[in-house]
Amino acid sequence: MQTRLGLTPEEMITIFNRMYLEVWAKTRERVTWEAANISRQLAEGKDVDIAALLIELMEVVITAARDGTILTLYENNEKIYEDLKAAGIQLPEQLEVHPAD
């Protein structure tokens, strides 16, 4: 018998992926996608600022990864709390989960 406290790795990956994709969808408009057409711009003789594009992409990816990680940790903590309660473990009052007002 395998006992587990909290979310399974698969559940954590699923939550992370869901949140990452949600944040990506909300933040990808920050990227200047025209700058991503590097080959075409170079062929047209235009100057290409790859650094600005990379910074924009990194900001969006880092934001999505951060938010995905935080949500996964939060949901895992909730699952651990529920698992402990289900096992009959009494937690100190300051650790009780109180719904947001």
Contacts with 71 (C-beta within 8 Å, 6 or more apart), sequence order: 15, 16, 19
Residue 98 lies in a domain: no
Q: What is the pLDDT of residues 13-70, one digit of tens each?
A: 999 999 999 988 888 887 777 767 888 888 888 887 788 888 988 998 999 999 999 9
pLDDT at 70: 94
- Domain of residue 29, residue span: 10-88
Q: Domain count for the chain, please give it.
A: 1
The answer to whether the CB of 6 falls within 8 A of the CB of 79 is yes
Q: How confident is the model at residue 11 (pLDDT cuts 50, 70, 90)?
A: very high
Residue 2 lies in a domain: no
Nearest partner of 38 among 28, 51, 25, 56, judged by Cα = 51
Nearest partner of 50 among 65, 67, 37, judged by Cα = 37
Q: How confident is the model at residue 1 (pLDDT cuts 50, 70, 90)?
A: very low
